[in-house]
């Protein structure tokens, strides 16, 4: 299991600063969402120098439920794949967009499936994973179409591609449906990437109600060896928070490795 930080972990600092801090703190990669803001060739060289890289980015557009926007979405995905080739990034995160008023849920699901099937071909050719992320609609993303893990899995299963999977965001799913460990492990084969933050507040693990020792142990026991991203704010100095996370959570999840990820 590998751990990544997300851009913004160090407020006001750029991608290069984040990559240096990731290396310094013993983490494994950076999630940088708006790849189009970067000088891709420069970042590629800096990644090689530092020894840490951008492991996930986002699609240019976030709308899978409106078939009239399919061409725009696919064009944006094509651009994103080209950026990933330069950066060496293998994961592309997407959301679904908001519910369309007056359109049945079944029609919107089918639009998602049809678009994702076309995405799958592109991603298989490029050897990247497109990761669909459910979001909570109660606190942070009112109206977002895809919120529940079981519905997300049913859609992914109909796409039926090894290159279209899920992001399981523990914070979002705690708010939406609870039952975190059961769902995070039940659907492990469809999950490419986990995000973690505590609730309430969406701050660093250990600052709220979620037992991240038990959650991460359960994920570890599935054999998962991909990235877990700290997509969170910090209630204290980021370096101090990361050291506390390593000492109080990771050292219990990986005791034989003395906190090494």
Question: Does an H or E element contain 230, and which?
Answer: strand 227-230
| Active site annotation includes 231 | yes
Residue 121 confidence (pLDDT):
98
Residues of the chain with pLDDT below 50 are 258-261
Q: Does domain 2-257 have CATH number 3.20.20.150?
A: yes
pLDDT per position as a tens digit, 24-60: 999 999 999 999 999 999 999 999 999 999 999 999 9
Catalytic residue chosen out of the listed positions 189, 221, 231, 243? 231
φ, ψ for residue 30, nearest 5 deg: -120, 140
Tell me the percentage of the chain whose pLDDT exceeds 70.
98
Residue 259 confidence (pLDDT):
43
- 227-230 and 2-6 as β-strands: parallel, antiparallel, unpaired? parallel
Q: What is the biggest distance separating any 2 CA atoms in the chain, rounded to whole angstroms?
A: 55
Tokens of 194: 């986990």
Catalytic residue chosen out of the listed positions 46, 133, 177, 244? 133
Residue 221 confidence (pLDDT):
98
* In the chain, domain spans: 2-257
Residue 257 confidence (pLDDT):
67
Residue 256 confidence (pLDDT):
77
Mean pLDDT of the chain: 97
From CA 29, how far away is CA 106, in angstroms rounded?
Answer: 37
Q: At what angle do helices 238-245 and 15-25 cross, to 10 degrees?
A: 40
Instruction: Report whether 240 contacts 10 (CB < 8 A).
Output: no
pLDDT per position as a tens digit, 212-236: 999 999 999 999 999 999 999 999 9
| Active site annotation includes 244 | no
């Amino acid at each position: 299991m590998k751990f990544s930080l997300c851009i913004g972990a160090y407020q006001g600092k750029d991608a290069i600063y984040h990559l240096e801090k990731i290396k310094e703190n013993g983490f494994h990669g950076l999630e940088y969402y708006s790849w189009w803001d970067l000088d891709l060739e420069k970042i590629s060289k800096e990644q090689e120098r530092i020894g840490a890289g951008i492991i996930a980015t986002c699609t240019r557009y976030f709308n899978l439920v409106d078939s009239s926007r399919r061409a725009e979405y696919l064009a944006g995905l094509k651009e994103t794949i080209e950026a990933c080739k330069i950066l060496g990034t293998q994961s592309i995160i997407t959301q679904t967009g908001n519910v369309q008023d007056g359109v049945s849920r079944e029609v919107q699901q089918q639009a998602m499936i049809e678009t994702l099937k076309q995405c799958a071909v592109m991603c298989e050719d490029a050897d990247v994973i497109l990761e669909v992320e459910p979001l909570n609609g109660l606190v942070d993303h009112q109206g977002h179409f895809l919120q529940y893990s079981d519905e997300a899995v049913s859609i992914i299963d109909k796409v039926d591609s090894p290159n279209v999977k899920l992001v399981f965001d523990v914070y979002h799913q705690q708010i939406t449906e609870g039952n975190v460990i059961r769902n995070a492990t039940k659907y492990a084969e469809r999950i490419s990437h986990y995000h973690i933050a505590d609730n309430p507040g969406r701050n660093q693990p250990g600052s709220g109600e979620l037992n991240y020792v038990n959650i991460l142990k359960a994920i570890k026991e599935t054999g998962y060896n991909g990235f877990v991203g700290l997509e969170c704010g910090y209630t204290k100095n980021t370096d101090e928070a990361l050291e506390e996370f390593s000492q109080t959570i990771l050292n219990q999840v990986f005791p034989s490795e003395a906190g090494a990820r």
